[in-house]
Amino acid sequence: ETGVTQTPRHLVMGMTNKKSLKCEQHLGHNAMYWYKQSAKKPLELMFVYNFKEQTENNSVPSRFSPECPNSSHLFLHLHTLQPEDSALYLCASSQDMFSGNTIYFGEGSWLTVV
Amino acid sequence: QQQVKQSPQSLIVQKGGISIINCAYENTAFDYFPWYQQFPGKGPALLIAIRPDVSEKKEGRFTISFNKSAKQFSLHIMDSQPGDSATYFCAASRGTSGSRLTFGEGTQLTVNP
């Protein structure tokens, strides 16, 4: 049973829709992440939050908008997406931002943009 | 810019054989090198990790070999089992950037019975 829970697991949305992905971690961690996983490509880091503060935005288009209301919850708000945004979106968490801390991933949200 | 290059892209091994996956990195500031295992429909999970002050780390059937001068590290799976069939990712990070991992492209391992 993963300590990082993502909902929904599958999402199909039109290019004009607005939807959100939700992530909750039950591990007492202080850092949370959004990664994008596309076929045949490395996992791409999108956003990093540390103690609810955004510390990194990896040149992500503004149609992706993250929100971190507290250290346990992370959202990814989606609007006017493109078909090439279809991918597996992974949420992850770690104790803090120091290198060497294990990063725990959720099972991901499969997003299809039609 | 791909800072961690992983090969092969796919690998087929017979049960009981040795699976070897290689990674090369560019940034000499990297100081933490984990391997993640991902089964279909699941998120990646940490398998084993190494720091550059040692050349080898072994956990059960899984071994990381690290060559600092060549900037390469590899995962060896001894006595490979069908249950090891998964996608394996190498990654690297550096202390000053915290837990920010740079991943390789992944290797899809199939172990035939």
A73-88 pLDDT, tens digit each: 999 999 999 999 999 9
* pLDDT < 70 regions, chain B: 1-2, 95-99
**Mutate which: B6, B39, B99, vs A, most A CBs within 10 A:** B99
- pLDDT-derived band at A66 (thresholds 50, 70, 90) equals very high
The residue ranges of DSSP E strands in A1-114, in sequence order, are 4-7, 10-13, 18-25, 31-37, 44-50, 53-57, 64-70, 73-79, 87-94, 104-105, 109-113
Q: Give the residue ranges of DSSP H helices in A35-107.
A: none
Q: What is the pLDDT of residues B26-47, one digit of tens each?
A: 999 888 899 999 999 889 999 9
- On chain B, the residues whose CB falls within 8 A of the CB of A98 are 95, 98-99
d(CA B62, CA B101): 21
3-state class (DSSP) for residue A59: coil
The pLDDT assigned to A99 comes to: 65
- On chain A, the residues whose CB falls within 8 A of the CB of B101 are 43, 45, 103
- pLDDT-derived band at A58 (thresholds 50, 70, 90) equals confident
- Residue B24 CB partners (closer than 8 Å, separation 6+): B4, B5, B70, B71, B72
Q: Are A17 and B63 in contact (CB under 8 A)?
A: no
Quickly tell me which residue has 């810019």 as its tokens. Answer: B1
Q: How many CB atoms lie within 10 A of CB B19?
A: 23
The pLDDT assigned to B94 comes to: 82
d(CA A47, CA B108): 26
Q: Are B36 and B47 in contact (CB under 8 A)?
A: yes
d(CA A19, CA B113): 43
Burial A26-36 (b: 16+ CB within 10 A, else e): eeebbbbbbbb
Q: Are B6 and B89 in contact (CB under 8 A)?
A: yes
Cis peptide bond upstream of A8, omega within 30: yes
Interfacial residues of A (vs B; Cβ cutoff 8 Å): 2, 4, 31, 33, 40-43, 45, 48, 50, 55-56, 90, 92, 94, 96-108
- On chain A, the residues whose CB falls within 8 A of the CB of B47 are none
- On chain B, the residues whose CB falls within 8 A of the CB of A5 are none
Cis peptide bond upstream of B8, omega within 30: yes
Residue B39, both tokens: 């089964």
Quickly tell me which residue has 């199909």 as its tokens. Answer: A12
- On chain A, the residues whose CB falls within 8 A of the CB of B43 are 2, 4, 90, 92, 105-108
**A–B interface: beta-carbon pairs under 8 A:** 74
Distance from CA of A82 to the nearest CA of B (A): 23
Residues 51-110 of B with CB under 8 A from A: 51, 89, 93-106
- Interchain contact, B98 vs A98, CB within 8 Å: yes
